[in-house]
Amino acid sequence: MIPALLLPAVLAALPFRASPVPGGVALVAVPGPKASYHGEPVLVRKGARGWEAVVGIPLSAKPGPDQVDAAGAPVPFTIRDKRYPEQHVTLKNTRQVNPSPEDEARIAREAALSKPAWVAWPEGLTPTLEFQRPTAGALTSSFGLRRFFNGEPRAPHSGLDIKAGAGQLVRAPAAGVVVLTGDFFFSGNAVYLAHGEGVVSLFAHLSKVLVKEGQVLKPGDPLGRVGSTGRATGPHLHWSLSLNNARIDPRIFLR
């Protein structure tokens, strides 16, 4: 086994604080510029002490030993425990809690459609890992909440909810290319923006989409307007951030 190390000196040089917990990010020393985690390619950067893998840890991960694969050998690291609070939401539209068979079929089609967007890796695009807020407003639901809809447990909250007025502009938090837009059962009008090397944002519940697939955006470019489409109780922006196909807390990369 190649020994792994979380690098405090490198952490200081990067614009974010890593935390190897479910929904967090681990920095793992690797011997070269390529690595993978559970079969997904991982963003690798050259740091002060050499190459390091920037590993997104899924919310479903269990605390304990894990590993990155690099240069044909496992590189171990440890996932720490983290408990997220509960959130209870009441929805009048019960189909959004218990979808009909027709809804389930639509949800399955949309999951298949969005799967390639979550793993998009546009050639030549390097993410900055310094993100600006996509819209102004109060944070109403934080990342990782263990959610209950009408008293029934559902998947944890995989992003941030920012309360804002209907029609308020949503802007690209970092440079990227639009890899998917559409109207989805849960997300409503949504935009998937790939920032490079497996870093992907989802902007959901938009009242209007202002971009097209394939469009390249600079930081601050408008991409949509706040709305309440899909499974939403009122106007707000849901922002998910994915790293190596693992949803992580967007606040990790916020300036």
**54-67 average pLDDT score:** 97
pLDDT for position 14 = 56
CATH homologous superfamily for the domain 8-79: Peptidoglycan hydrolase domains (2.60.40.1590)
Q: Determine the residue type at 126.
A: T
Question: What are the residue boundaries of the structural domains of the chain, listed by start?
Answer: 8-79, 86-253
Tell me what percent of the chain is helix, strand and coil, each rounded to the nearest 5. Answer: 10, 40, 45
CATH C-level class of 86-253: mainly beta
SS3 180: strand
Given this chain, do its domains 8-79 and 86-253 carry the same CATH topology? Answer: no
- Show the CA angle centred on residue 195, arms to residues 178 and 255, nearest 5°: 125
Over residues 100-114, the pLDDT tens digits come to: 999 999 999 999 999
Q: Global pTM?
A: 0.89
